[in-house]
Structure 1
């Protein structure tokens, strides 16, 4: 049902689509509806079902992130929506620019721990072009952030699109040191990244439970590692599923720049916090990037600072 479309035009969904499940951290049920949205609106989450009856639209951009500890959480006042990264990765990986997302629950459902369920929902709804040019962020100069041995950077790319180079290093088997490189396309996202699941160590579970997190994590939505192996009966989907999932997280986190990035991303031992810091550093360094497409719009408006939605 996905339409053929020029990549220079913005896109949205062809119809509304709904999903439901349990949040990986809260353990609470959640239902979300993804609906078509107008050109220029971006990805906007609205939290429903609050005790005070208020609805709080939140644009999925870095300035609205209230926490990047273990997951990305959008927040404004008393309203928050957690664990948006896998859904954001699916939207960016399939080149969907504008979506209105109603969330009845505190967290995006974990599904199977990957972006596959979100890809299926997007495919069911279809993707259509809008009569407006797509705005992208072209990297003009390198930006880099670091935290000890971990680091992440964006640099100009020799060819168009987003080039990703992600490396992880864990002492524990079966992860070890893994590295994967790719130029992002919808086809490669579907085949190589979308099905990679989140992972965690059994030894960390009790601490997370005491902190009120990972309450919905299970073998159905997490690769659980203990004694040097994955405990999941079905095993791994890819030999390097761990670094593929980190690449999935990177894509969802970079989407918080508010527009597709044209450039080369590279990281070593990165995570949500470092990825967010990189996006924030990029947007705070005007000399490091330029917008391509929608050049006629004022810069403040192109940055997403105008309008009623936060």
Structure 2
């Protein structure tokens, strides 16, 4: 399998969920082995080659913070879309400190990538294959990788609120068998009204509203149109996990499982894998070989470009 980049540059404008700032984001094609790189056009700082060690703020999002203090916030949704579309090499330029939230899901970013077009490059795609179980446990949550010939995620959520009892708390997706656009991409981020004041005292959630997040009060969901899926909350947690795990910059061959996972523990799992070379191996499939069928072929094998476009057009005022 070959590496992938974009056919042409594309741009979108939105607002940062936490900063509240208007942001213009432009995605540029990048050469083989370039990886996923961020550049702040409003600063003179050097471009930032993404790596799990750079995720140094995980308060309600995955945020890059360099040693020089340069920030690129809330990257998990666009990273999820890049993973689903199989994009290895891209330059992401922002004129503000945060990726735009758009409608709170990854679907606008999938649409943007399909608008740009995706092209295969010359060099082989590099995979990280999990060869033995790796687990990170905290007092009330855990995540782990186990060997698996594909890419599968299974998550369980647990929140003390009746709205979460209306659907199953667990969801699982196997990239070779299920459709990312249909099952995951439309799931939006969510938050609680009672946390808004606390968040804003910490300069978080300044751009949040009912158009870009599910908001929950004591009685239930405040959004007039309700939920897109009965179990939208756990599906969004999987969307986040896909993005958090792709911060490693390469597709992972293995199965991810978690209970009450979040950005901090997801990142800790990546760091634990990279810290122990006996946990993983690098692999390429230069002649097809035994690559897991359809698991890493991008959204074309999970619904196709036309489905992505149609799904996005069903979301008014998304772009």
Same fold by TM-score greater than 0.5: yes
Q: Which residue of 2 aligns with 1:74?
A: 64
Q: Which residue of 2 aligns with 1:165?
A: 154
Q: Which runs of 5+ in 2 are unaligned?
A: 287-319
Over the aligned positions, Cα root-mean-square deviation in angstroms equals: 1.4
Map Cα deviations across residues 136-163 of structure 1 (whole Å, 9 max, x no partner).
Answer: 0000000000111200000101xx3211
Distance 1:154 1:147 in 2: 15
CA contact (8 A) 1:172 1:228 kept: no
Distance 2:176 2:46 in 1: 33
Q: Which residue of 2 aligns with 1:28?
A: 21
SS of 1:239's partner is: coil
Q: Which residue of 1 aligns with 2:253?
A: 262
Distance 1:127 1:226 in 2: 41
Segments of 4+ in structure 1 off by > 4 A? none
Q: Which residue of 2 aligns with 1:109?
A: 100
Q: Which residue of 2 aligns with 1:288?
A: 279
Q: Which runs of 5+ in 1 are unaligned?
A: 1-7, 296-310
Distance 2:178 2:87 in 1: 14
Map Cα deviations across residues 152-197 of structure 1 (whole Å, 9 max, x no partner).
Answer: 000101xx32111111011102113610011125961111111100
Map Cα deviations across residues 113-133 of structure 1 (whole Å, 9 max, x no partner).
Answer: 001111110010011100111
Distance 1:237 1:162 in 2: 25
Q: Which residue of 2 aligns with 1:229?
A: 220
Aligned residues: 283
Shift of 1:75: 2.0
SS of 2:157's partner is: strand
TM norm structure 2:
0.86
From the two aligned structures, give the one with the greater strand fraction: 1
One of 7, 16, 38 as aligned partner of 1:14:
7
SS of 2:179's partner is: helix
Map Cα deviations across residues 17-42 of structure 1 (whole Å, 9 max, x no partner).
Answer: 00110000000011110011111111
Q: Write out aligned runs for 1:243-258 (5 A).
A: 243-258=234-249
Q: Which residue of 1 aligns with 2:91?
A: 100
Distance 1:78 1:135 in 2: 30
Q: Write out aligned runs for 1:199-210 (5 A).
A: 199-210=190-201
Shift of 1:65: 1.6
Distance 1:166 1:37 in 2: 33
One of 77, 93, 109 as aligned partner of 1:86:
77
Q: Write out aligned runs for 1:177-188 (5 A).
A: 178-185=169-176, 188=179
